[in-house]
Amino acid sequence: MPDTRRLPMLPLGAVLLPSGVMPLQLFEERYRRMIVDVLATDREFGVVLIRRGSEVGGGDLRCDVGTRARVLEAREAPDGRWAVTIVGLQRVRVERWLPDDPHPVAEVSPMPDRPGPGVPEVAYRSLESRLRRLLAHLSELGDPVQAATFDLADDPAFGTLQMAALGPFTAYDRQLLLEADLVFERCGILDALLADAQTVVDLRLGPDRGGDGPAVGSSR
């Protein structure tokens, strides 16, 4: 298959999305060996969500849609552990899992969006405003969330994946967004997730504050 490449893979209990930044602590011997090999080549590997099982010890059931990642920073501790920071580059589909070597390895291919209905600018910007407002309210409540002053891509194809990474969503919600290969579909999922999250925040803010105030303005 064209564009298919072999990648070292890191199954996690979290979802990395394109543009997302994630800190990691690698202590298993197989992943310590993996990071040394990765740093000696192109600094890239794949990240997939563990659908069932544990990050440690193997025997996990993995999702087949993940993200190609690049190492931004890597430091080895005296005890052999690695503190690593990665950024998501591109959504990929696992075409075939290969035998562990000793870490998981897979043949992956890029997973672009399928052609589909366009997303009106007003609908896209409405999602952006709702996310900014939600993050501002969560910050006010003391939750550790992304600042509401983020920059968002003008292209909804990439911007919806950015919002998936920035929003206060569960790993399985993020995986649902990652696997959605129609931009229109991702917008619908984001719409529902933001509505549910805002309902919970409104209850926490109380009847005098729930849903109040204008959306936080764009940083542009």
Percentage of the chain surpassing pLDDT 90?
80
Mean pLDDT value across residues 145-166: 93
Instruction: Write down the architecture of domain 5-110 according to CATH.
Output: Roll (2.30)
Which sequence spans correspond to the domains of the chain?
5-110, 121-205
148 vs 96: which has the higher pLDDT:
96
pLDDT of residue 148: 87
Question: Which three-class secondary structure string do you get for the chain?
Answer: CCCCEEEEEEEECCCCCCCCEEEEEECCHHHHHHHHHHHCCCCEEEEEEEEECCCCCCCCEECCEEEEEEEEEEEECCCCCEEEEEEEEEEEEEEEEECCCCCCEEEEEECCCCCCCCCCHHHHHHHHHHHHHHHHHHHHCCCCCCCCCCCCCCCHHHHHHHHHHHCCCCHHHHHHHHHCCCHHHHHHHHHHHHHHHHHHHHHHHCCCCCCCCCCCCCCC
Instruction: Write down the architecture of domain 121-205 according to CATH.
Output: Up-down Bundle (1.20)
Mean pLDDT value across residues 134-149: 92
Task: Write the pLDDT tens digit of every residue in 114-127.
Answer: 999 989 999 999 99
Separation CA 17–CA 90 (nearest Å): 8
pLDDT of residue 219: 36
pLDDT of residue 217: 38
Task: Write the pLDDT tens digit of every residue in 175-215.
Answer: 999 999 999 999 999 999 999 999 999 999 988 765 544 34
Task: Write the pLDDT tens digit of every residue in 14-69.
Answer: 999 998 999 999 999 999 999 999 999 999 999 999 987 655 555 568 999 999 99
